[in-house]
Amino acid sequence: MGKRTVYTKITPLPSHIPRQLALDMLHSHEEVIKLNPLVTGVKKIEAPRDARSDEFFSQWYEISEIITWGFGLRKKISFKGCFHNQPWGLQSHVYAPMGVDMRNKYRIGGNQPGEEREAR
C-alpha cells in the first residue's frame, strides 16, 4: 500500500484581489496546470472509459511534463487528470506515472473587508 500524505497550506489573498477573480483563475484549469514549471503541454480529452463514476463528468486533461532523472537524463511523461469546479474553488485528481495518485482541493475561504465572517 502506498504512503498517504495530507498537507494543508493557507495563504491569505492580498486585500486588493477580489474573491471572484481568484475563483475565476482556479476555474481556468489550463492556467492552473501551466503554473507547474515542469509542464510542457496540456490538452482537453474525453473521460477515460475506466474513470470513476464521480469523476466521469469532470473536465479531463492530458498533461505532459519533462522530468530529469539522476545524471541529467531527461524524460517526457504524459498522464491524465480531472478537474472539477466547486463554488468554493477547485478539486482535482491527477493520475501520474509510477502509481502517483494526487487529489487536491484549492479553496477560497474567509471574508473580505465589509463581508460577514465565514461560518465554520
Contact call for residues 19 and 112 (beta carbons, < 8 A)? yes
What whole-number percentage of the chain has pLDDT above 90?
A: 68
Q: Is residue 14 part of a domain?
A: no
Taking the C-alpha atoms of residue 68 and residue 88, their distance in angstroms, rounded to an integer, is 35
**R_g of the chain computed on alpha carbons:** 17
Q: Is residue 6 part of a domain?
A: no
Which tens digit of pLDDT belongs to each residue from 33-86? Answer: 999 999 999 999 999 999 999 999 999 999 999 999 888 899 999 999 999 999
Q: Tell me the residue range of the domain where 41 lies.
A: 19-107
Taking the C-alpha atoms of residue 87 and residue 102, their distance in angstroms, rounded to an integer, is 21
As for how many domains the chain has, the answer is 1
Which tens digit of pLDDT belongs to each residue from 86-117? Answer: 999 999 999 999 889 999 999 998 877 777 88
Amino acid at 90: L
pLDDT at 15 over 90: no
Q: Is residue 2 part of a domain?
A: no
